[in-house]
Amino acid sequence: MNRILMFGLHHRLLLLLVLTVLTALAATGMQHLHIDTGTENMVAKGSAKMQIYESVVEEFGSDNQTLIFTRDPSLWTTDKLHALKALHVRLASLESVQRVEDIFTLRNLRGKQDAVSSKLLMDHIPENQKEVDQLKENVLYNPLVKGNLVSAEGNALAMIVTVQPAAMKTLGHAGVYEAIQQAIEPSAEHFERLFQIGSPRIQMEMESTLFTDMRTLAPLSAAVILLVILLFMRSTAAGFIPLVTAGISLIWTMGMMGWAGIPVNILSAMLPTLIIVIGSTEDTHLIGSYLDARRAYPDQEPEFCVRKMLRKMGLPLLLTISTTVLGFAGNIFSSMELIRDFAIASSFAMLANGLVTILLVPALLVMMGSSKKSGQPATEGGFLSRLVLKLNQKSNLSIQRLLLGATLLLCAFFLFEASKLYVTNDPMSYFKQDRPLIRDASEVNQYLAGIKTFFISVQSDKEEAFLQPRNLRKLEELADFIGKQGVFDRTVSLVDYLKLMNREFHAGDPQWYQLPANKELVSQYLLFMHRQELQRYVSHDYRRGVIVVRHHISDSNMLNRNIDELRQVAQEIAGAELQVDIVGENLMINEEADTLLHAQVESLMIFLGIIFLLMSAMFTSFKGGLIAMVPSVIPIILMFGVMGLLGIPLNPGTAMVAVIAIGIAIDSTIHMLSSYNKHSRMMGDSVQAAQQTVREEALPMITTSVALSLGFGILLASDFAIIGQFGALAAATMLFALFANLIVTPLIMSRVRLVGLYDILALSVDKESLSGCQLFHEMSDYQIRKAMLISEVNDYSEGAKIIEQGCLDRSMYLLIKGEVDVIRHSQDGDEIIARLKPGEVFGEIAFVREIRRTADVCAVNSVSVLRFDCERLKRDLRFFPHIVAKLNFNISYILGERLANTFKD
């Protein structure tokens, strides 16, 4: 491990060369980058629903259309109608447009006695107002038009534009949007409101917003990080090194995405910010440690200080990089491509940043850190640190209980608020509510049927099933139920056309607005319809009928609930003979919301489990794992509680906050627990060790947490609501984690003693002094270190009494340094029974069973001992029975030997 950490230090030139080559290689991949803001990547591919949806779309046409919305109080005048006609002609003449459906292309059917007239709704524009009013009356007479293409009052209307599929591929969404926009612009002055809305516009706005975000957020976050680090660390190198490592990582990440074909999507727009913000934390820790070393060894060369830094920070750095990567990688198994692509890109970015940090930062520090003035950080901790220390210093039971109790209550409250959490995955909800796109969609919904569509497909295994009135009646029943549900705007199916024809073929008598009575009449009415009019609603062999439903619901929860109800009722109405499927792209995207929730819970559980195991391994005890969980779980609860309280939904952005934020916050926990371990071994007093830990770790923790919060807070400037929500929540979670790490964790850890794996590995065992030590006879190095680190190191000056005769005590001692005398006091005077040397054990009888000490043990000279507390040993080595067995055996041997010697004497 040391070789890896020191590589950058020892081979600076080679490292720079390799990094330059790799960066250049990665840069060439950037030209292959492509953007994908399509809604297809918000749906799980290959699912059964997707297959049914694709078959429905293939048969009946796409549910993706663009709507040109017009509103004007005096829409029904000759001038306005001429302007509309001109607009229609311009749209229809666009090469990218396949078809325009509006009042100029739809047929109207009017019946009177023994006569039916079928003509275009508007085959010519009337020249006088009376005729215009008649025209309006005709238009609103048609139930397929009213509320669908023309508002109920007639002051708003829509032109539905179907784009050539080939044009979408050649021009792209932006190109199609621009072409349509150029066609509608000349007409804008004629109407109060005129705009287009649909898939091209939504995609175009997503793309442009994505570019804007990437252009503005990254520089902002870089500036914020630079300021924060300069403020706290007061070192120019400390400010710029993170930007260098972030820049290189970003190029590598973008290059990898280009080579691997991973598209840039709306979530990956925040990658530059994440790399800069998160990557800077590791650099800050390293540089902080380097600056400490410079202050401690002002006369030493930078290389010496860098080595000190690496020895201290090496393993924690590797662990924190791993947890961060794991946090991001937790979303790799999401069924949603949008999240999966982001997870791959972001975990690679964190890994790349970690690698670059480990290799490059030591080299950069050596090159840049030769100045004696290497930064003087702000006074130790500042106000916050002093407050935290004060809280820890007043370590009386009542304050601690109050703090822990308050934390528990807070968590309980936020857990309750978290139960109100709701999930949404609607693409329109990705935008901020004040955006023109959202306002325009609301306006359309106000006057006409919503722009979102789904299909209810009803299928029979018999040909001509939907020429039979009994099956058509089932479609009618479904449509009636949807009307009663009151949540969806409009339904259109073959039934509506047939009812209209039946009414008009009976001279317009409203009583005849019903389905034809028999199959023959249905077939004969359909003679008047062309296949292209029918193909949207019934298959060519009449086996399958479709109801097209339009709505404007953006709340996934509400939509899913109503769709579930509809599914149930639909199958009941259809019966056993017919198969009902309710499909739509918008539907599938919203149904992914449920998957989002389950995936979030799953990835969080897995991640917490991994953290638990990692921490347990690190501290060689499950207790350590559990303690490490506390500062992870508290922020999660608080975060979800805030979401529930403020009504922030769980969406593709906010769904990732928990695992990512915890993956970052755990870094501070690792640093804190490691530091606590070190101090508790040296000080022997857990409370003092906790205070010293807080004193040392408060500043870097506050620095990194504040920097992270501010960095994430920059994402609030995004035009995407989900990115802003992600940023706000992540920032808040960093602060929650700071609270947990600085306030709650010290209170808990002062009550426990943990032995870190690192401590075990790093402990330098003096083999000579312990050679022949019977207590550790036939024990491996690891077992010896484990046993030793359960103990406490105590130092005594010459003449100090270590054990007092007659006292009750359950400790056993191993002499490490110096010599001690065992002195028995009796009526006959004091007798030195034995003089013990390093490696010898004393106090073992009381360790085995509780009895009063039989003699004093006093230090002859300056002495260091390891004190083994019986209860603590039993507790901490509970899961290490082999070590316990060997210790017990060795203690028995020592006792036996003592007994034998006594008899010999």
Partner 1 sequence: MFTLDRAMAAWLLKPGHRAIYVIALAVMVSCSIQTSVMAAEMPLTHNNQVQQPALTGEDIIMESLRRHELYPYVYEEQSLILMDAKQHRDVRRMKRYSRLEPGGTFKAMLTFTYPESIAGAALLFTRQQDGERKKRFYLPALGTHLIEYTGGVAGSQMLGSEFSLEDLMPEDMDAFEYHRMKDVIDGDNAYFVVQAISKRDKTNVRRSYAERKLLIRQDNFFVTHVDYLDQKGALVKRQTRHDIHQVNGEMWRADMMMAENFLNHHRSILKVDRRVYSSDYVPEFIFDISSFVPATSQPAAESSDPNPEVAEEAP
Q: Residue numbers of the site for partner 1 (CB under 8 A)?
A: 93, 114-120, 123-124, 464, 467, 505, 516, 518-532, 535, 540-541
Task: From residue 86, give the alpha-carbon distance in Å to each of 79, 92, 186, 669, 896.
Answer: 11, 10, 9, 68, 110
User: Cβ closer to partner 1: 443 or 533?
Assistant: 533
Cα separation, 844 vs 835, whole angstroms? 16
Residues 6+ apart with CB under 8 A from 22: 252
Cα torsion through 138, 141, 144, 145, rounded to 10:
50
Secondary element (H or E) of residue 627: helix 622-646
User: Cβ closer to partner 1: 189 or 461?
Assistant: 461
User: Cβ closer to partner 1: 58 or 189?
Assistant: 58
Query: CB of 534: closest distance to partner 1 in angstroms?
Result: 9
User: Cβ closer to partner 1: 6 or 92?
Assistant: 92
Distance of CA 223 to the CA centre of its chain: 24
User: Cβ closer to partner 1: 120 or 807?
Assistant: 120
User: Cβ closer to partner 1: 531 or 849?
Assistant: 531
Query: CB of 161: closest distance to partner 1 in angstroms?
Result: 15
- Helices and strands (H, E) in the chain, number of each type: 31, 18
Residues 6+ apart with CB under 8 A from 816: 766, 769, 793, 838, 864, 865, 866
Handedness of CA 554, 557, 563, 569 (dihedral sign): negative
User: Cβ closer to partner 1: 93 or 182?
Assistant: 93
Q: Which two tokens stand for residue 448?
A: 């006409």
User: Cβ closer to partner 1: 106 or 593?
Assistant: 106
Query: CB of 527: closest distance to partner 1 in angstroms?
Result: 5
Secondary element (H or E) of residue 231: helix 199-233
Cα separation, 888 vs 856, whole angstroms? 24
Cα separation, 267 vs 253, whole angstroms? 14
Q: Which two tokens stand for residue 443?
A: 């306006």
Query: CB of 122: closest distance to partner 1 in angstroms?
Result: 11
Query: CB of 526: closest distance to partner 1 in angstroms?
Result: 7
Task: From residue 682, give the alpha-carbon distance in Å to each of 253, 310, 627.
Answer: 43, 21, 21
Secondary element (H or E) of residue 795: strand 792-796
Residues 6+ apart with CB under 8 A from 85: 104, 122, 125
User: Cβ closer to partner 1: 480 or 520?
Assistant: 520
Query: CB of 466: closest distance to partner 1 in angstroms?
Result: 13
Q: 513-549 b/e with 16+ CB inside 10 Å = b?
A: ebbbeebebbeebbeebeeeeeeebbbeebbbbbbbb
Query: CB of 190: closest distance to partner 1 in angstroms?
Result: 22
Query: CB of 96: closest distance to partner 1 in angstroms?
Result: 15
Among candidates 807, 903, 796, which has minimal Cα distance to 859?
A: 796
Q: Computed over its alpha carbons, how large is the radius of gyration of the chain? A: 38
Secondary element (H or E) of residue 109: strand 107-112
User: Cβ closer to partner 1: 115 or 807?
Assistant: 115
Query: CB of 159: closest distance to partner 1 in angstroms?
Result: 18
Query: CB of 45: closest distance to partner 1 in angstroms?
Result: 24
Secondary element (H or E) of residue 550: strand 544-551
Query: CB of 727: closest distance to partner 1 in angstroms?
Result: 48
User: Cβ closer to partner 1: 20 or 118?
Assistant: 118
Q: For residue 126, how many other CB atoms are within 10 A of its CB?
A: 17
Query: CB of 282: closest distance to partner 1 in angstroms?
Result: 59
Query: CB of 515: closest distance to partner 1 in angstroms?
Result: 13
User: Cβ closer to partner 1: 137 or 831?
Assistant: 137
Among candidates 490, 496, 483, which has minimal Cα distance to 452?
A: 490
User: Cβ closer to partner 1: 541 or 798?
Assistant: 541
Residues forming beta bridges with residue 711, ordered by sequence position: none
Question: Beta strand 66-71 with 829-836: parallel, antiparallel or unpaired?
Answer: unpaired
User: Cβ closer to partner 1: 93 or 371?
Assistant: 93
Cα separation, 400 vs 411, whole angstroms? 17
Query: CB of 540: closest distance to partner 1 in angstroms?
Result: 4
User: Cβ closer to partner 1: 112 or 874?
Assistant: 112
Query: CB of 504: closest distance to partner 1 in angstroms?
Result: 10
Query: CB of 520: closest distance to partner 1 in angstroms?
Result: 4
Question: Beta strand 193-198 with 66-71: parallel, antiparallel or unpaired?
Answer: antiparallel
User: Cβ closer to partner 1: 262 or 522?
Assistant: 522
Cα separation, 362 vs 310, whole angstroms? 8
Query: CB of 100: closest distance to partner 1 in angstroms?
Result: 12
Which amino acid, one-letter code, is at 84?
L
User: Cβ closer to partner 1: 58 or 768?
Assistant: 58
Question: Beta strand 156-163 with 193-198: parallel, antiparallel or unpaired?
Answer: unpaired
SS3 category, 262 = coil
Task: From residue 489, give the alpha-carbon distance in Å to each of 25, 475, 492.
Answer: 54, 17, 10
Q: Which two tokens stand for residue 874?
A: 């039993």
Phi-psi region of 334 (alpha: psi -120 to 50; beta: other; left: phi over 0): beta
